[in-house]
């Protein structure tokens, strides 16, 4: 069968016509009849020519159709087989597709910018001394940026700066959104063009010029109904820097545009402050650069070294400061990539198990169809044809499964996206798109080819003509070794998945049972961001105090408090404290302590235990300024000496009219137990101080009300929503129950643990069904053999034991191989485990016990059937 | 491609005929007709597609020539793979025919 044959051109239409005409003429001449009679003898000339042409044009297509038809017919005869195979494969392919769709942006898809490999995030990492705090992401002081990077430094072709903040469109329908401040060249550095209107110009970026804005495509559709005349319209923007009005819209961003890091709906020119000696330090920004051709991030870091000093001006010299240049993609994806690969590995294992399962079914089917294949061979089908038929069947199975899986992936993707923890970029916009579609086809073909190889080989053997002679039950000694080996493989893979999921579940359990230092079960919180255009500071404070008063009178209210952030969220402020009567040596490290503001009942509401002293009282709002520490802060500041009664001074509280506001000395009146207050639950509690909302400068615009209640959390949430709506119907509020707050913190371990457990459960099910089907096959094949043994006196127990023993050998093989596999695989899990070792005996014992139990159930029925073979019937069967 | 019985039979007959020497479509039909004493009558409508299939499969070759009567005709000739193929299907056909014959005798 040469390849050239497939491409050889056949005779032309003209030749075919001539050939038939010659035939008709010869026939007429030979029979001595007219042309018409010869035509009648031939039948339909047109149809004949069509048949001839089809031979040349689309033979492969015909064959494919014919095979598909054959396969379809054989499926219709055995619908249970086809259904089982398609569903099993669809499970594996569907889960893979959904996960691929969810993680495409994290793992595979390049950033949606021009030449994205050269885009880097560049900035400083700083670590204050002796604190344990360390920047995880690089940032740049805006002053240093303006001063030293006015001309683009050498490793870069261009640089740009940005940051994002919460803002509000304060018009008829107020809407809270995210805004981005960007330099005018931002889009050009990324290589993005606006969809409508114009990009920012250098003139827009000069401080003092009227504010202009670019809006996202989503905002354009949502708020402006895709009106093409939106350009040149104006809007009012409420920002932390004050009310900007009017802001002129100059353009619309493309639909597929994504911000490099945090999302934003409106971009405004950064209008970075020109150098002003009176303002020491304003804010930090994110700097992005496009590297010159052939400069690696490492080389860029070295090239920037001389500028470190100039850039880090304003950062105390005791801080450790270093450059970091990292690919933008890495910063964007962060450690989500690790989770992505873990899940991909798990789902690939699941797909593998599903494939092995179907291979097993196919092998059983080939054995069943031996005689059919042999007959086909006898009447002229070549071996290759039989192999093709077998391969086609598996490919068609997988393609059908790919289709079903694609449908399933739609539903699964929603679930993944809903479950996904924060910090996995792009998962919210993940969709089943062309890429997923292509992967579906690819996976279908690949799976089909790989599950079909073995069955095809066994068909090839059937083709030798021996098949016709074989009877339905194979020779008694034959063992389906291959099929058992497949079951062993399945079991091994399942062990690895089960072990991994057991570890993650243990770890999740540990995370969930970390004592947080608070009792939030019966607490409901309400957070509000007040608009500065609708509230003055006094009105804001009054709003929250009124909210507090009304919350206290809701049914079931036990206690209520205000704070600028509820635990276990990190304290909003931090800084170093002075201690009265102690002169810090110049340049000596100063500990950094978190700073939170709260009303007196805060501690009661969250049930934070009092260690020494007392909580705030109403009377503290006048007179001597006071402060409360947690145990870590007390230890850090006073190193074992009693803190009560000592006076300390918090860091600079802010700027007013360009001058730093220095806090007065405050007396320590109480020490409370530590509360988990890191970014993650598993972070150790860090030192923290509390100041009193009533008398200290706190932001009256952003605040959180916490209510402890005996009412059901759902009801309490409804009460809070109601009182907020009564006070100000336009105000947007976020209400979270304590459980929700805590759930958010454990989102990532939960996501991982549940997904992996689901995969492992499915894998276990597949492995069990594989074992069941092979053991049943074995018993059916040996009916006669078993019958003889029972006839000559073997007890049913012996027979059952033999079946279980045979299966058991393969199970044990699988468990051993799987443990080795799991031992290697779970090392990758290490970073995701909390207080569990990868070789944790409990997890592995639990996993193996579950496995053993399920597999025993799977093999029970075949063993039972073997034990109850009726010897007479079995011997008479043939 | 001989998947179904009738096609396999036609293929066998064509190859066998061509084993005797090159011939055109009409000649093949006539030869089968005559040697089987009219027992087998070739469906002319399937003969030509079958010839082209065999041509495409490389079992036979085709060439335009002029016959003795001065008529242009497409002449088919058996190729080497064709001879091998003929041997194979002749054997399996004989086996099948023998089997069927025995069954008929005993039934």
Closest residue on chain B to A384 (Cα)? B1
Q: Give the CA distances from residue A437 to residues A88, A309, A350, A483, A580, in Å, rounded to whole numbers and listed in that order.
A: 19, 52, 20, 32, 68
Highest mean pLDDT among A104-108, A729-733, B47-51: B47-51
Of A404 and A589, which is predicted with more confidence? A404
pLDDT above 60: residue A196: yes
CATH of the domain at B56: 1.10.10.10
pLDDT for res A641:
84
pLDDT band at A64 (very low <50, low <70, confident <90, very high): confident
- Record: contact A55-B56, CB cut-off 8 A: yes
For residues A278, A283, A289 and A295, what is the CA-based torsion angle, rounded to 10 degrees?
A: 80
The answer to which of A185-189, A713-717, A824-828, B47-51 has the lowest mean pLDDT is A824-828
| Residue range A804-841, pLDDT digits in tens | 888 888 888 899 999 888 888 888 788 888 888 888 88
pLDDT for res A333:
83
A246 CB near a chain B CB, below 8 Å? no
Calculate mean pLDDT across residues A572-588. Answer: 73
| Residue range A291-339, pLDDT digits in tens | 999 899 999 999 988 888 878 776 767 677 888 999 998 888 887 888 8
pLDDT for res A561:
93
- Record: contact A19-B43, CB cut-off 8 A: no
Residue B2 has its nearest CB partner, among A16, A20, A380, at A380
pLDDT above 70: residue A60: no
| Residue range A147-191, pLDDT digits in tens | 888 788 889 999 999 988 888 887 777 777 889 999 999 999 999
Query: The domain containing residue B81 runs over which residues?
Result: 5-106
> 3-class SS at A122?
strand
- Record: contact B56-A27, CB cut-off 8 A: no
DSSP category for residue A682: T
Residues paired with residue A156 on neighbouring β-strands, in sequence order:
A291
pLDDT above 70: residue A280: no
pLDDT band at A59 (very low <50, low <70, confident <90, very high): low
ipTM of the complex: 0.87
pLDDT for res A696:
63
Calculate mean pLDDT across residues A265-270. Answer: 93
A44 CB near a chain B CB, below 8 Å? yes
pLDDT above 80: residue A658: no
pLDDT for res A822:
86
| Residue range A750-759, pLDDT digits in tens | 888 888 899 9
Of A2 and A847, which is predicted with more confidence? A847
The answer to which of A158-162, A463-467, A478-482, A668-672 has the lowest mean pLDDT is A463-467
Mutation for testing the A interface, residue in B52, B89, B95, B103 having most A CBs under 10 Å:
B52
pLDDT band at A402 (very low <50, low <70, confident <90, very high): very high
pLDDT above 50: residue A476: no
For A175, phi then psi, to 5°, come to -145, 125
Q: Is the dihedral of CA A61, A67, A69, A71 positive or negative?
A: negative
Residue B92 has its nearest CB partner, among A63, A379, A385, at A379
Query: Would you say A702 and A530 are in contact if contact means Cβ atoms under 8 Å apart?
Result: yes
| Residue range A668-705, pLDDT digits in tens | 999 999 988 776 777 777 889 998 887 665 566 778 99
Strands (E), A599-743: 610-613, 626-630, 647-649, 654-656, 659-661, 666-672, 688-692, 702-709, 733-737
pLDDT above 60: residue A467: no
pLDDT for res A602:
93
CA angle A125, A207, A661 (to 5 degrees): 60
The two tokens of residue B92 are 């399996």
The answer to which of A388-392, A401-405, A524-528 has the lowest mean pLDDT is A388-392
pLDDT above 50: residue A486: yes
Query: Would you say B76 and B52 are in contact if contact means Cβ atoms under 8 Å apart?
Result: no
Query: Would you say B72 and B60 are in contact if contact means Cβ atoms under 8 Å apart?
Result: no
Based on the structure, what is the number of domains in chain B?
A: 1
pLDDT above 50: residue B1: no
Residues paired with residue A234 on neighbouring β-strands, in sequence order:
A248
Calculate mean pLDDT across residues B39-58. Answer: 86
| Residue range A66-91, pLDDT digits in tens | 778 878 888 888 888 888 889 999 99
Residues paired with residue A647 on neighbouring β-strands, in sequence order:
A667
pLDDT band at A473 (very low <50, low <70, confident <90, very high): very low
A13 CB near a chain B CB, below 8 Å? no
| Residue range A518-534, pLDDT digits in tens | 888 889 999 888 877 77
| Residue range A720-763, pLDDT digits in tens | 999 998 998 878 788 988 888 887 777 888 888 888 899 999 99
pLDDT for res A478:
43
């Amino acid at each position: 069968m040469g390849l050239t044959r497939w491409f050889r051109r056949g005779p032309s239409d003209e030749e075919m016509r001539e050939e038939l005409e010659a035939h008709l003429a010869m026939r007429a001449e030979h029979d001595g009849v007219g042309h018409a009679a010869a035509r009648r003898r031939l039948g339909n000339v047109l149809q004949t020519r069509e048949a001839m042409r089809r031979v040349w044009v689309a033979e492969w297509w015909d064959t494919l159709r014919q095979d598909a038809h054959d396969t379809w017919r054989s499926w219709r005869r055995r619908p249970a087989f086809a259904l089982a195979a398609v569903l099993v494969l669809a499970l594996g392919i569907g889960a893979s597709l959904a996960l691929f769709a969810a993680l495409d942006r994290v793992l595979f898809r390049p950033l949606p910018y021009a030449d994205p490999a050269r885009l880097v995030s560049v900035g400083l990492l700083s670590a204050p001394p002796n604190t344990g705090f360390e920047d995880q992401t690089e940032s740049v002081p805006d002053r240093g940026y303006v001063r030293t990077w006015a001309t683009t430094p050498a490793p870069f072709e261009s640089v740009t700066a940005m940051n994002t903040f919460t803002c509000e469109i304060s018009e008829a329908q107020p809407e809270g959104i995210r805004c981005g401040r960007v330099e005018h060249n931002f889009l050009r550095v990324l290589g993005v063009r606006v969809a409508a209107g114009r990009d920012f110009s250098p003139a827009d970026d000069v401080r003092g010029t009227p504010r202009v804005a670019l809006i996202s495509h989503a905002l354009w559709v949502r708020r402006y109904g895709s009106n093409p005349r939106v350009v040149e319209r104006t809007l009012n923007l409420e920002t932390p820097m004050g009310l900007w009005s009017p802001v002129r819209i100059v353009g619309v961003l493309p639909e597929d545009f994504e911000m490099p890091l945090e999302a934003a709906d409106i971009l405004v020119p950064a209008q970075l402050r020109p150098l002003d000696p009176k303002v020491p330090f304003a804010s930090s920004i994110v700097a992005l650069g496009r590297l010159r051709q052939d400069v690696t991030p490492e080389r860029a870091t070295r090239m920037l070294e001389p500028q470190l000093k100039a850039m880090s001006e304003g950062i105390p010299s005791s801080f450790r400061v270093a450059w970091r240049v990292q690919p933008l993609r890495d910063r964007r994806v962060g450690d989500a990539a690790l989770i992505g690969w873990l899940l991909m590995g798990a789902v690939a294992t699941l797909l593998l198990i599903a494939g092995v399962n179907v291979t097993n079914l196919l092998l059983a089917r080939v054995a069943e169809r031996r005689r059919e294949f042999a007959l086909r061979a006898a009447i002229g089908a070549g071996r290759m044809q039989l192999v093709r038929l077998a391969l086609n069947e598996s490919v068609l199975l997988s393609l059908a499964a790919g289709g079903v899986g694609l449908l399933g992936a739609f539903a699964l993707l929603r679930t993944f996206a809903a479950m996904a923890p924060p910090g996995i970029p792009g998962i919210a916009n993940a969709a089943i798109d062309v890429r997923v579609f292509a992967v579906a086809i690819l996976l279908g073909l690949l799976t089909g080819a790989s599950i079909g190889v073995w069955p095809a080989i066994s068909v090839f053997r059937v083709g030798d003509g021996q098949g016709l002679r074989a009877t339905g039950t194979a020779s008694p000694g034959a063992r389906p070794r291959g099929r058992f080996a497949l079951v062993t493989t399945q079991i091994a893979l399942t062990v690895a998945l089960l072990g991994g999921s057991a570890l993650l579940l243990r770890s999740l359990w540990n995370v969930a049972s970390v004592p947080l230092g608070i009792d939030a079960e019966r607490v409901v919180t309400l957070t509000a961001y007040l608009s500065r255009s609708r509230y003055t500071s006094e009105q804001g404070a009054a709003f929250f105090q009124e909210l507090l008063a009304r919350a206290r009178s809701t049914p079931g209210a036990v206690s209520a408090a205000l704070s600028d952030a509820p635990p276990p969220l990190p304290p909003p402020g931090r800084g170093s404290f002075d201690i009265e009567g102690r002169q810090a040596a110049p340049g000596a490290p100063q500990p950094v302590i978190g700073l939170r503001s709260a009303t007196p009942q805060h501690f009661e509401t969250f049930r934070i235990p009092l260690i020494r002293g007392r909580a705030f009282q109403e009377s503290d709002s006048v007179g001597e300024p006071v402060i409360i520490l947690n145990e870590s802060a007390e230890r850090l500041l006073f190193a074992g000496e009693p803190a009560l009664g000592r006076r300390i001074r918090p860091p600079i509280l802010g700027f007013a009219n360009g001058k730093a506001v220095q806090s007065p000395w405050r007396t320590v009146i109480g020490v409370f137990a530590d509360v988990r207050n890191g970014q993650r639950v598993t972070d150790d509690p860090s030192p923290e101080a509390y100041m009193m909302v009533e008398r200290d400068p706190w932001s009256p615009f952003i605040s959180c009300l916490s209510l402890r209640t005996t009412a059901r959390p759902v009801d309490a949430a409804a009460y809070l929503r109601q009182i907020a709506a009564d006070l100000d119907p336009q105000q947007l509020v976020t209400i979270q129950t304590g459980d929700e707050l805590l759930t958010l913190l454990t989102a990532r371990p939960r996501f991982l643990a549940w997904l992996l457990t689901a995969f492992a459960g499915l894998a276990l099910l597949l492995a069990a069904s594989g074992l069941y089907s092979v053991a049943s096959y074995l018993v059916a094949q040996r009916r006669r053999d078993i019958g003889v043994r029972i006839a000559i006196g073997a007890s049913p127990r012996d027979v059952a034991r033999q079946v279980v023993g045979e299966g058991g050998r393969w199970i044990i093989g699988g468990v051993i191989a799987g443990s080795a596999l799991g031992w290697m695989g779970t090392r990758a899990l290490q970073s995701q485990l909390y207080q569990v070792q990868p070789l944790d005996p409990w997890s592995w014992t639990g996993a193996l016990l579950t496995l053993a139990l399920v597999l025993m159930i799977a093999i029970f029925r075949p063993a039972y059937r073997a034990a109850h073979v009726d010897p007479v019937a079995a011997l008479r069967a043939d | 491609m001989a998947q179904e019985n009738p096609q396999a039979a036609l293929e066998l007959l064509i190859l066998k005929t061509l084993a005797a020497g090159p011939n055109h479509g009409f000649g093949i039909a006539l030869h089968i007709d005559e040697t089987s004493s009219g027992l087998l009558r070739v469906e002319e409508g399937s003969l030509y597609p079958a010839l082209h299939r065999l041509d495409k499969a490389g079992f036979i070759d085709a060439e335009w020539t002029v016959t003795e009567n001065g008529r242009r005709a497409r002449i088919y000739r058996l190729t080497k793979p064709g001879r091998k193929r003929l041997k194979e299907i002749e054997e399996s056909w004989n086996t099948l025919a023998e089997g069927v014959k025995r069954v008929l005798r005993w039934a």
